[in-house]
């Protein structure tokens, strides 16, 4: 049994194509988790377009996949109308969410396909789209245990944890996690000390093989963006260290950050992990990157 994790879109807020971003990529959020040939797709930012092309070319037909949305901010849904497999009859997609959100998710997803915005109506898609919910927030979906966590973000966002046979992947984007906000104003205060993050989030991430987490801001930027609902990357390192995770993918890169700036940010994060005497492996999520995680 192996988990494959593929990054199709890693950028936050808005697509940023161009020479400054070509290495990490400019497409917005989309991550594919494949377990025993079942696909769990996290978010439908502009990166899902390329995933759709790949599935049409190589996946067994009809195409089946589970869709998990962190929330309905535009950078997480804007690729959906360009996800070609949803237009093909007999392809089947299930939209999952917490009990209160799943059906609302399907409705909001269709909202961006109203005729003023897009030429094809959601109801006219050829494929079958079904909404289901995660019940109490902990449910088995095609043999993989999926858990959900409510995050701090304007209008709420959800993290998901996918787990099977000792491998676990946490997808936790669009989440502000710093509890010591005084420290945000004073980034130089005891820089090596672990910062306060929500205990229930640490428990949710406990022992993860991989955490994919919003690390949009540098330490210098974060004081200006407190309350915007995104994390500074160095605090995400602390979360991963506290949770005892093996790997951390810093994700939802700021649209203002060039490849060189993301390189610098990742270096700072790796130094922070070492300063905590942690074995945590930190890398910057990069479009087109595939990771295989074995039990
Ligand atoms: Zn976002
Ligand atoms: Zn958001």
Blockwise average pLDDT, block size 10, the chain, 295 residues: 95 98 98 97 98 97 97 96 97 91 83 92 92 91 97 95 98 95 63 89 98 97 94 97 98 98 98 96 98 92
- pLDDT the model gives residue 103: 75
| CA 62 / ligand 1 centre spacing (Å) | 30
Identify which of 289, 293, 294 has the alpha carbon closest to the alpha carbon of residue 6.
289
The answer to whether residue 295 sits within a structural domain is no
pLDDT for res 186: 58
Identify whether 274 is part of a domain.
yes
Q: How far is the CA of 230 from the centre of ligand 1 (A)?
A: 8
- CA dist 194 and 265 (Å) reads 18
d(CA 276, CA 66): 37
How confident is the model at residue 184, as a pLDDT? 63
Quick check: is 293 in a domain? no
Which ligand does the CA of 216 lie closest to? 1
Distance 10 CA to ligand 2 centre (A): 13
**Ligand 2 center to 71 CA (angstroms):** 7
Starting from the CA of residue 76, give the closest ligand.
1
For residue 27, the CA-to-ligand 1 centroid distance in Å is: 11
Q: How far is CA 208 from the centre of its chain?
A: 15
Domain count of the fold of the chain? 1
**What is the 234 CA–ligand 2 centroid distance (Å)?**
19
The bound ligand whose nearest atom lies closest to the alpha carbon of 73 is 2
What's residue 189's pLDDT? 61
- Which residues partner with 66 through β-bridges? 40, 94
d(CA 46, CA 79): 4
User: Which domain range does residue 261 map to?
Assistant: 2-286
Q: Give the CA angle between residues 157, 230, 49 to the nearest 5°.
A: 65
Compute, in angstroms, the gap from residue 294 CA to the centroid of ligand 1: 29
- Ligand 2 midpoint to CA 39 (Å): 23
Q: How far is the CA of 175 from the centre of ligand 2 (A)?
A: 8
The candidate with the shortest Cα–Cα distance to 65, out of 128, 149, 156, 138, is 128
Note the ligand closest to the C-alpha atom of 13.
1
Ligand nearest to the CA of 30: 1
216 C-alpha to ligand 1 centroid (Å): 10
CATH at residue 16: 3.60.15.10
| Residue 170 falls inside a structural domain | yes
Residue 294 resides in a domain: no
Domain annotation covers residue 292: no
- Asked whether residue 291 is assigned to any structural domain, the reply reads no
Ligand 2 centre distance from Cα of residue 192 (Å): 29
In Å, what is the CA distance from 277 to each residue of 122, 150, 192?
A: 50, 30, 10
């Amino acid at each position: 049994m192996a988990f494959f994790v593929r990054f199709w879109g890693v950028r936050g807020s808005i697509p940023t194509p161009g020479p400054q971003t070509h290495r990490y990529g400019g497409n917005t959020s989309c991550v594919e988790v494949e377990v025993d040939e079942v696909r769990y797709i996290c978010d439908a930012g502009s990166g899902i377009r390329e995933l759709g092309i790949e599935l049409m070319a190589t996946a067994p037909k009809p195409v089946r996949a589970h869709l998990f949305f962190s929330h309905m901010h535009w950078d997480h849904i804007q690729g959906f109308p360009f996800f070609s497999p949803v237009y093909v009859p007999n392809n089947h997609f299930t939209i999952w969410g917490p009990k209160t959100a799943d059906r609302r998710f399907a409705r909001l997803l269709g909202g961006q396909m109203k005729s003023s915005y897009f030429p094809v109506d959601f109801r006219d898609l050829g494929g079958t789209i079904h909404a289901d919910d995660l019940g109490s927030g902990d449910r088995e979906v095609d043999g993989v245990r999926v858990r959900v966590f409510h995050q701090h973000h304007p209008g709420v966002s959800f993290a998901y944890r996918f787990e099977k046979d000792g491998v676990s992947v946490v997808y936790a984007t669009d989440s502000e996690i710093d509890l010591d906000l005084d420290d945000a104003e004073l980034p130089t205060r005891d820089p090596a000390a672990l910062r306060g993050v929500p205990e229930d989030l640490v428990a949710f991430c406990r022992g993860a093989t991989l955490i994919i987490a919003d690390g949009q801001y540098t330490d210098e930027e974060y004081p200006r963006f407190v309350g915007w609902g995104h994390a500074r990357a160095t605090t995400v390192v602390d979360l991963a260290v506290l949770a005892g995770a093996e790997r951390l993918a810093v994700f939802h890169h700021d649209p203002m950050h060039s490849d060189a700036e993301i390189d610098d940010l990742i270096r700072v994060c790796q130094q922070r992990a070492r300063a905590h005497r942690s074995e945590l492996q930190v890398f910057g999520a990069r479009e087109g990157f595939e990771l295989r995680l074995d039990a």
